[in-house]
Amino acid sequence: MRVPLGRLLPVFSLLSALVIGYPCRAEDAAAPSGEYRWSVRAFGAKGDAETDDTTAFQAALDEAGKAGGGIVEVPAARYRLNGTLSIPAHVTLQGVFRTPPTSLRRDMTVGGTVLSAYAGRGEPDGPAFLRLAGSNSSVAGLVVFYPEWRREDVPPIPYPPCILAQDVENVAIQDCLLVNPYEGIRLIRAARHLVRNVGGYPIWRGLYVDECYDIGRVENVHYWPFNVAYRPDDPYCLWINTQGTAFEFARTDWQYVFNTFCFGYGVGYKFSEDKHGGANGNFLGIGADCCTRAVLAEAVQAWGVLITNGEFVGRWQSRDSVTIEVRPEARGKISLSNCSFWGPIERCIWMRAPNGWFSADNCHFSDFDVAGQGLPALQLDAGRTIVQGCSFARSGLHVRVGPEVVSAIVMGNQAEGGLRVENAAGRRMQIGLNEQDPIEWTPEALSAYRIRIGDSYDGRYVEKCFGPEEAGRPFRWTGEKAVLNLPALPGKRYRLIVSAQIPPQAQSETAGLYLGETRIAPLAPVMTAELPAEQADSRRLEIRCQGWVPRQHDPNSRDDRTLGVQLQSAVMLAEDVWPSVEPGTLPQKLFDANTGKWLSEEPKGE
């Protein structure tokens, strides 16, 4: 349909009046080419890494603020800043990067826009290096480096936050590398914040959020030892690995965290409580590698924290890493879905909150009980827990339910060797439809069987041993004490034959095979003992020896475990079988307790 020109003329007249009649502000005229862009170079910034450019930077930022907002551009160079900067409302401090930059491990050689921060050394309560002082302000495309940092300073020298936003809204931090700040980003009462594409290795704390009452978003943050050659025993790395926190969330409502990762921290993701309460939110695709506590929950809001597609690994060379700990003071719900756990882990989950709720759905627990102390993958001490549809790649004790648990439901899980659960909560625990022990113990099998320690499904028979190893044959190292749990026929006596490799360091006057407090055989490569009849359907024995540390005996070893002996096999012969067996030999018909099958020929070399 055509519109007559006469009808359009009044509209054109109105638009012309609006455009021509709109007042031109003085601030508009100050912006070059009307583009609302300023360069710090135009205000005298040298970028020679020696001249203090703080005044020039702040002058450019203030000019943009007076104009009502805009972009302050920072061309590629190294800028020395002895002071701090305040970014006004609606202003972006923009470097050259459009993707998060990285630096080499050993030397800060990255190019582009680099800000060298000198302010605040030893003054953690001082002003932040970069303050997002107004709503809608942002920083982007920058590298921040602290030149006075020294790896030899342990504990590290504290500084104020590298970036702070407080009592503002809609601030953003994007495409930045915070190489070595003491504290990376602090957001307090900063609703609808956006932190995206940020990397670095903050020392004490990487990100802190508190009193965020409208949805904040944290995406693609990667905290990793940039500019540092990580070693677990290096004093600087060890300090961060035990004292540092990568991400901390206090009171924050509907927090969204997506595709984030951290490496080498004491705590990866911490949910803490201040006077305003704890957090709730959605945490998708998060990862914590080499952390003493991958997730530590001290406080959670009633509607919960949702963690999906998480990957959690214990601290390298540690024996005490718990990947998720829910502390007693925590309330509310923590839900895990499709998460994976591996590496040097003591316990994957430690639920300790009497008033808390916890669930693990479709998760995979690859490693646990790294020190061989008989600890479970999931230790439930209190509260309410559901574990369903999960898988456990190792045999051993998978779930321990304590007497203070209010309710525990363990259903539909699979585990190598069958799911093993230790229940001290009575009827408050419900269990069903889990993978069963694949070994079918008939009376004939219980009369003569062999366990190859270190081979498949041996975890049901040994406790307080390190993981399976191979050196010509499978074995497990014991510590100073190891436990054998051996199936048996009630009312029958047994002959037990245990094979082991005995390092001379493990010998002592009291070392040997124990039944209760009675030594029934001295420590030797082959230990043979007779076990009295009992009414129980198993026998529990201990191997005791002198503990020793390989690296203390071999300068080329880095193994700092406290070891005992190499445990290789155990053979049990009931009283109606052993009289027919010649000394030093085994019966031709012997049940394989690792596979559940009968051995087809006489075993050799036991």
Q: How far is CA 135 from the centre of its chain?
A: 34
| Tokens of residue 248, six digits | 């901390």
Confidence at residue 533, expressed as pLDDT on a 0 to 100 scale? 95
Instruction: Please indicate, yes or no, if residue 574 is contained in any of the structural domains.
Output: yes
How many other β-carbons are positioned within 10 Å of the β-carbon of residue 9?
Answer: 10
| More confident site: 79 or 603 | 79
| Whether pLDDT at 23 is above 50 | no
- The half-sphere exposure of 510 on its side-chain side, counting CA atoms within 13 A, is 8
CATH at residue 471: 2.60.120.260
What's 219's DSSP letter?
A: E
Q: CB atoms < 10 A from the CB of 66, how many?
A: 15
Domain presence at residue 549: yes
Q: Which amino acid is at 461?
A: Y
The mean pLDDT of 449-458, rounded to a whole number, is 92
Bridge partners of 379, per DSSP, are 350, 400
Number of domains in the chain: 1
Q: Which residues contact 36 (CB under 8 A, 6 or more apart)?
A: 64, 67, 69, 70, 71
Q: Given the DSSP bridges, would you call strands 245-249 and 267-271 parallel, antiparallel or unpaired?
A: parallel
Distance between alpha carbon 366 and the CA centroid of its chain, in Å? Answer: 14
What are the pLDDT digits (tens) for 340-362? 999 999 999 999 999 999 999 99
- How far out from the chain centre does Cα 284 lie? 14
Residue, of 274 and 322, whose pLDDT is higher: 322
Q: Kindly tell me if the per-residue pLDDT of 3 is higher than 60.
A: no
The pLDDT, as a whole number, for residue 186 is: 98
Given a cut of 90, whether residue 560 has pLDDT beyond it is no
CA distance 175 to 107: 20
In the chain, the percentage of residues whose pLDDT exceeds 90 is: 80
DSSP bridge pairs for 465: 478
In a domain, 259, yes or no: no
Instruction: Determine the Cα–Cα distance for residues 113 and 232; give it in Å rounded to an integer.
Output: 32
pLDDT for residue 602 is more than 80: no
pLDDT tens across 298-329, in order? 999 999 999 999 999 999 988 899 999 999 99
**pLDDT tens digit sequence for 146-203:** 999 999 999 999 999 999 999 999 999 999 999 999 999 999 999 999 999 999 999 9
- 517 assigned to some structural domain: yes
| Interatomic CA distance for residues 327 and 342, integer angstroms | 21
In a domain, 286, yes or no: no
388 falls within a domain: no
In 488-531, which residue ranges form alpha helices assigned H by DSSP? none
The pLDDT tens digits for 91-143 are 999 999 999 888 765 555 678 999 999 999 999 999 999 999 999 999 999 99
> Which pLDDT score is estimated for 583?
76
C-alpha torsion sign, points 513, 515, 516, 521: negative
Tell me which of 293-307, 461-475, 528-542 is least confident.
Answer: 461-475
Instruction: Judge whether residue 34 has pLDDT over 80.
Output: no
> 10-19, 311-320, 531-540: lowest mean pLDDT where?
10-19
Residue 378, domain member (yes or no): no
Contact yes or no for 161/64 (Cβ under 8 A): no
What is the arithmetic mean of pLDDT over 255-281?
Answer: 95
Whether 28 shows a pLDDT value over 50: the answer reads no
CA–CA dist 242, 267 (Å, integer): 8
Q: How confident is the model over 250-266, as a mean pLDDT?
A: 97
DSSP 563: B
Q: Decide if pLDDT at 464 tops 80.
A: yes
Query: What is the per-residue pLDDT for 559?
Result: 87
Count of CB atoms within 10 A of residue 516's CB?
A: 9
Six-digit token string for 358: 């916890």
Tell me what pLDDT residue 221 has: 98
Rounded Cα distance between 212 and 126, Å, is 22
CB atoms within 10 A of CB 558: 10
DSSP three-state, residue 61: helix
Return the pLDDT at 11. 38
**Residue 386: exposed, middle, or buried by beta-carbon count in 10 A (0-12, 13-18, 19+)?**
middle
Pairing of strands 526-531, 494-501: antiparallel
Q: Contact, 557 vs 403, CB < 8 A?
A: no
Residue range 46-88, pLDDT digits in tens: 999 999 999 999 999 999 999 999 999 999 999 999 999 999 9
Rounded CA separation 176/185 (Å): 11
**Domain assignment of residue 478, given as a range:** 443-598
Strand partners, 80: 52, 116
Paired residues of 130 in beta bridges: 85, 163
**Alpha helices in 228-339, H assignment, sequence order:** 235-243
Residue 501 lies in a domain: yes
pLDDT for 30 equals 44
Helix (H, G, I), strand (E, B) or coil at 119: coil
User: Locate tokens 């053979």: which residue?
Assistant: 571
- CA-based R_g, the chain, Å: 32
* pLDDT at residue 24 greater than cutoff 80: no
Per-residue model confidence (pLDDT) at position 238: 96
Q: Answer yes or no: are the C-beta atoms of 391 and 413 closer than 8 Å.
A: yes
Please spell the DSSP secondary structure of 134-166, one letter per residue: STT-EEES-EEE-TT--TT-SSPPP--EEEEEE
pLDDT confidence bin for 274, thresholds 50/70/90: confident
